[in-house]
Structure 1
């Protein structure tokens, strides 16, 4: 048996590893690479193997950096099954079509810019009998109803002028086709995924449905076991059960552990500090008449925020200002959470379910679906909370809320999750916290949003306790409590400095650990 590391190797996004036996090839995750637009687009379009050689796939959880290239995989000929938990399958039913919509929208906008730029440089008669008047009229034709792009007209002129258009990575149709390959299975339920290859999934505690995969291969009287951690969550957090203490899989011996390292060299704030920290931020902002803007991942982080805010409001610790969830995807994912109470922890059952309450719905919560309601909310000046996607501020409605609120020092931008390198979220976090550390002296930093510059006058606060990833101590706790004899660990899913630091920590603890490189293959 061999394992080849193709994605999330010395970086965080694009999780993808290939497990090979004499008879089968099993893919572990198929994630989207995120970061700089051009660089990411180039990486995402190229799969490092022909999808038709794959037997089946294991998906650790639904986050796009683990699932986002599945529609491309199926589009290019993958014919196997995608095994994951039932909650993950349900979440992907919303996440993948949403990702496809973003791919299509990005392609349409880039094509619009290409045609508009070409028209601005054209001279009358350059393309056949095109007159000056026609060139002016064409620019108006690129949009309909004042602002919506006219895709048919744009594509027509791309062909007419022989321009280089952009194709989406995949379409909504491709995403819908990919969903047919999903096979949701319960935790701890063994399933055959290849000839002599069996898999069991265990709670990872990261997000709803996230799983640690134990994979057992038996052939010629011998057996080998690989454990794929996926992303490991935190301990003692609300809603979900902790990462599994005992992986009662197929044997105590694990030949290779593929272990994430997102926070391999960092310590989080204690989970018990999460609620009082949020209370402090909300009260300080409301007292000065401001609003709190929270860029949040639609899946997991949004629901956790609603849970804690619900508790604060119920106990009267914070003025009960309106809470707007301004993300159609987050609204749909919140419904998925409501459909899977079987994965909630004991506290959530006792605090909410047994009292007949929904943890994610209370009087002050308003779910904003329409564009019109979202636009009206952007102009709202009375104190409120907005939870909006995307979590790294790279796309979506959060960008428009930032445009309207980032320049006002009464407002707070609350960072509650990981911000990858080269994202707008990371720039806001770094520049905003540096400005706070300087005592807000001098001119505020300038950030560019949708190609326009804005002064970053709003307060920027980070609460690390909301992270869905365990820190280095929690990841080590998971390994030690797993009740396994781990022969070797391959450290993945972390920026290079984090992976190397966590690898050294593992060695100091007596583990045989290494950090693979992209394309490297290990024999098991």
Structure 2
């Protein structure tokens, strides 16, 4: 088997892995790096330009896994494109939103490469999408060889799957992004136990040790208590969230707290594509048992839309809860603009509930110290950090110990590390080398070919 990590920067970003299994050419995911722009944000597809892809597998619908999909589909018009049925229901909506964002960024930032694809191209892609049932194997052929594919629940977000591949006597497992714990909206990952020859696994939380008392149920309680305290002090609470998955999860948590009288009365505002995706989650929930979400909670919470135009550096002083994308306070998003007005008051709180890349404004704010100047560069705002900034351990990614335990019990001959910053990969390398002395632990150099 050949493997190439096509993510040119490594880390987390333009996730895309090429596998040649026998003579079957497979691409797993086709993402876009949110920290880059134009073609620099894409995987390096030049290494497979002379290869005829047989199959493109999408593990889930976050931008860092699907953001360049129409580009690779354009380059490989005969490749089959498969994903779970739940992902198929969401995918074109996510790609259309990405096209809108690129058009806006082209105008705002003068990026000549954008858009990488158009709305019309997304529409042409949709008929090529094929949904697969969880745990229902299907066979896909190359010129002479055949690979059997089976998808497993991976938690993380609606439709997310791990991929099991069989070729002759070879047995390969790709975790994708995974969460083993149950969420309010989603059942946790259900992975098969036992031996695999090769495991390709994410490493997102490799630098994060789960502390005693930081269990998910305790973190939910701590989040509600922090919201109540902030509102009672006359402040506002901002929850930056990812549109897909995190928004719906947080809405469910807030709804439960309000329903059982644990959340103070306050206005709740929400904005971003996550609200539109609530309809999709509702539909998926009615069709598939792994998702539990009812969009009626939006009405029951009396959620109001934020103002269409937010003024940078202005505290609206509405003594309210804001649930707004983007989750990492990416520049020129509603959460970024709102945060620029909230951080100057010690009454306010900004609470992060998901992964924050350290190079994003959200990651930088988490590292900032009270009383220091903090700059929102694209908003042209610099303010002393007075607000509380908190992190709640409600990540959509598995704890490192759980992932390591899964890898160890497979006793795989090779474990390939993906989707993690270098420090996270280093932890997994050290841990797995000590616990799997007979296995080869590979932290792949981007764009380098490996024979496994």
> Same fold by TM-score, threshold 0.5 exceeded?
yes
**What is the Cα deviation at residue 361 of structure 1?**
3.0
Matched, 1:314 2:275: no
In structure 2, how many angstroms separate the alpha carbons of the residues matched to 1:324 and 1:194? Answer: 50
Q: Distance in 2 between matches of 1:487 and 1:166?
A: 42
Q: CA deviation at 1:301?
A: 0.8
Counterpart residue number, 1:47: 45
| Matching residue of 2:220 | 275
Q: CA deviation at 1:457?
A: 3.2
- The alpha-carbon distance between structure 1 residues 277 and 11, as it changes in their structure 2 partners (threshold 3 A), is same
SS of residue paired to 1:506: helix
Q: Equivalents in 2 of 1:407, 1:503: separation in Å?
A: 41
> Offset of 1:460 from its aligned partner?
3.7
8 A contact 1:14–1:32 mirrored in 2: yes
Q: Are residues 456 and 230 of structure 1, via their aligned partners in 2, closer, same or farther at CA, if it must alter by over 3 Å?
A: farther
Shift >6 Å, 4+ stretches: none
Answer yes or no: is 1:430 the counterpart of 2:367.
yes
Q: 2:134 aligns with which of 177, 184, 187?
A: 187
Partner of 2:420: 494
Structure 1 CA distance, aligned partners of 2:345 and 2:124? 45
Shift of 1:291: 0.9
The residue correspondences of 1:215-364 to structure 2 (distance < 5 A) are 215-218=165-168, 223-246=169-192, 252-268=194-210, 269-327=214-272, 329-341=273-285, 343-344=288-289, 360-364=297-301
Structure 1 CA distance, aligned partners of 2:75 and 2:108?
Answer: 25
> Does the CA-based 8 Å contact 1:72-1:174 persist in structure 2?
no
Cα offset, 1:52, TM superposition: 6.5
User: CA distance change for structure 1 residues 51 and 183 in 2, over 3 Å: closer, same or farther?
Assistant: farther
1:388 aligns with 2:324: yes
Q: Give the distance between the partners of 2:44 and 2:6, measured in 1 at CA.
A: 11
Q: What RMSD over aligned residues (CA atoms) do the two structures have, in Å?
A: 2.7
**Residue aligned with 1:409, SS:** coil
TM (normalized to structure 1)?
0.78
- Alignment of 1:447 onto 2:375: yes
Contact 2:404–2:428 under 8 Å retained in 1: no
Structure 2 residue 13 is the aligned partner of structure 1 residue 67: no
Q: For residues 174 and 46 of structure 1, what CA distance do their matches in structure 2 show?
A: 20
- For the 8 Å contact 1:8–1:493, the answer to whether it is kept is no
State which of 322, 327, 343 in structure 2 corresponds to 1:406. Answer: 343
Aligned to 1:420: 357
380-389 vs 195-204, greater mean Cα deviation: 380-389
Match of 1:124 in 2: none
CA distance 1:45–1:515, change in 2 (3 Å): closer
Alignment-derived partner of residue 83 in structure 1: 82
| Residue 145 of structure 2 is aligned to residue 201 of structure 1 | no
Given that residues 340 and 376 in structure 2 are in contact (C-alpha distance below 8 angstroms), is that contact kept between their aligned partners in structure 1? no
Deviation at 1:280, TM superposition (A): 1.7
Q: Deviations over 1:28-68 (max 9, x none)?
A: 11111232x45x75242752322862111111111111111
- Higher mean Cα deviation, 422-431 or 208-217? 422-431
Structure with the larger RCO, 1 or 2 (CA within 8 Å, 6+ apart): 1
Structure 1 residue 478: Cα displacement: 3.5
Name stretches of at least 5 consecutive residues in structure 1 with no aligned partner: 112-163, 436-442
Shift of 1:464: 3.4
After superposition, the Cα gap between the structure-2 partners of 1:169 and 1:487, relative to the gap in structure 1 and judged at 3 Å, is same
**Structure 1 residues 4, 391: CA separation in 2 closer, same or farther (over 3 Å shift)?**
same
Separation (CA, whole Å) in 1 of partners of 2:388 and 2:288: 33
Aligned partners of 1:273 and 1:465 also within 8 Å: no
Which entry has the higher C-alpha Rg, 1 or 2? 1
CA deviation map 1:72-129 (0-9, x unaligned): 2123344322211111112212111111111111112233xxxxxxxxxxxxxxxxxx
Number of residue pairs aligned between Structure 1 and Structure 2: 440
Partner of 1:439 in structure 2? none
Q: Return the alpha-carbon distance in structure 2 between the equivalents of residues 64 and 51 of structure 1.
A: 26
User: Deviation at 1:343?
Assistant: 5.0
Alpha-carbon distance, 1:493 to partner? 1.0
Q: Would the alpha carbon gap of residues 202 and 396 (structure 1) be closer, same or farther in structure 2, given more than 3 Å must change? A: same
Are the counterparts in 2 of residues 259 and 492 from structure 1 also a CA contact under 8 Å?
yes
User: How far 1:233 moved relative to its partner?
Assistant: 0.9
1:271 is displaced (CA, Å) by 0.9
Normalized per residue, which structure has more helix?
A: 1
Separation (CA, whole Å) in 1 of partners of 2:386 and 2:141: 54
